[in-house]
Amino acid sequence: MELFQYKNNELYCEDVKVADLAKEFGTPLWVYSANKILHEYRAIQDAFEEVDPVVCYSVKSNSNLSILRLLNGAGCSFDVVSGGELYRVQHAGADTTRVVFAGVGKTDAEIRQALGQNILMFNVESEAELDAISRIAASMNRVAPVALRLNPDIDAKTHAKTTTGKKGNKFGMDIERHNALADKVLADPNLELRGIHMHLGSPINTTDPYEAAAKKALEVVTELRAKGHQTNWVNLGGGFGLNYRGTEAPPATEYAKVILPYIKEAECRLALEPGRSVCGNAGALISEVIFTKREGGKLFVIQDAAMNDLVRPAMYDSFHRIWPVNPKLAPPTDYEAEIEGCEATDVVGPICESGDYLAKGRHLPPLQRGDLLCTFSAGAYGTVMSSNYNSRPRGAEVLVKGSDVQLIRKRESYADLIEHELFALK
């Protein structure tokens, strides 16, 4: 289901003209479709319905309070990786007893905060962290629910910066340490082993890594129970693919097909932590062309969104579809192909870095100053990774549902940029 669509050479988000939003709220502008977010969340919930999964939306992919509240209202739970994200989830009115907490560097204050909120479980990434949780739980007279994060040494075949389930990266622990720490939990009155956690990386456009992970989870849970653990949760993380280019990501039902048999056999509750696949294609970044220039045999389109807004192309070499908001040509089915009437164009921002681009050598129709561009699939890892580099205020965010438009984050002002700074006193 696509909710950003062209009708008569005009881009719509749901029932609203994107050009009207740009006029009202200015650019760069983040536009989200509420119904797309809900649709993608429900697609996952429905695909795994047989085992009544707890879908914990990964807050780090897009943490806007209105989006958290929207998902919370639909019955979604949350996966957090910091005290700040837990604070956001609380603020959005979520039931924190269904929240899971991952991350390799949880501080004492964050552990205390999470225990205070009675979270569902900590995804523990090391022995040192397990010891810290035990110590803090003891001081609060509590039993801390934990899952040990297994690094299953599965190659998810994704970008080097986003693969997490392979030997040699900082996440989780190998099976020997996992089993040793499980013994330690059993002997510790302040810890309870709720389950096993894995997160393989992102985005993963094949189902095999998940099948391997689910199979591994079944083996591990069986062993843990034989040792006397009450373990009854399997958390397979997130990382589900997203259609950045076309239809490269399998639908949720395909992932479910390979995962469900193992979960049913293990007789476990299933937790999932999807982020990108829920909000990625529900968001777009709208920008306005400032100048065009030809230099060194290349055509550059300089527009007002930059790497401080969307860093993914610079950071991960990622591909985002880009097309005008009011195009003279219908959008192509293949954005990577040469297109009749188009010219290879570098779409760049105003920042003083050669890495500041949204696309390189992209075939686009002729563009001029004032034209609006849409960068698609920007709903996940867009705003959350944005910065004020070059002292650029961040753009506004709007949430569209049908014909309803809500401003969910104000555009930053110059005053916002300097708000936390103080003049040093001699």
Ligand X SMILES: *Cc1c(COP(=O)(O)O)cnc(C)c1O
Is 268 marked active-site?
A: no
Q: Strand 269-272 relative to strand 372-375: parallel, antiparallel, unpaired?
A: unpaired
When binding is defined by CB under 6 A, the residue of 33, 45, 58, 63 that contacts ligand X is 58
CB of 314 to ligand X, least distance (A): 19
Residues 6+ apart with CB under 8 A from 280: 61, 242, 244, 377, 378, 379, 380, 381
Choice between 276 and 392, CB closer to ligand X: 276
Cis preceding-peptide flag for 28 (omega within 30 of 0)? yes
CB of 381 to ligand X, least distance (A): 7
Helices (DSSP H) in 96-195: which residue ranges?
A: 108-116, 127-139, 175-186
Choice between 241 and 349, CB closer to ligand X: 241
Piece of 55-63, 85-93, 131-139, 399-407 that binds ligand X (CB under 6 A):
55-63
Which of positions 364-383 make contact with ligand X (CB under 6 A)? 380
Q: Which amino acid makes up residue 146?
A: V
Residues 6+ apart with CB under 8 A from 8: none
Choice between 39 and 135, CB closer to ligand X: 39
Binding to ligand X by residue 386, rule CB under 6 A?
no
CB of 191 to ligand X, least distance (A): 20
Choice between 83 and 275, CB closer to ligand X: 275
Write down the catalytic residue from 13, 268, 352, 374.
352
Q: What are the structure tokens assigned to 9, written together? A: 């050479």
Interatomic CA distance for residues 413 and 393, integer angstroms = 6
Which of positions 248-287 make contact with ligand X (CB under 6 A)? 273-277
Interatomic CA distance for residues 116 and 110, integer angstroms = 10
Interatomic CA distance for residues 402 and 368, integer angstroms = 31
Which of positions 4-23 make contact with ligand X (CB under 6 A)? none
When binding is defined by CB under 6 A, the residue of 14, 40, 79, 129 that contacts ligand X is 79
- Asked if 159 contacts 136 with a C-beta cutoff of 8 angstroms, the reply is no
Choice between 58 and 375, CB closer to ligand X: 58
When binding is defined by CB under 6 A, the residue of 61, 113, 207, 386 that contacts ligand X is 61
| Phi and psi based region of residue 157 (left: phi greater than 0; alpha: psi -120 to 50; beta: remaining) | left
Site residues, ligand X (CB under 6 A): 58, 60-61, 79, 81, 102, 199, 202-203, 237-240, 273-277, 380
* Residues acting as catalytic residues: 352
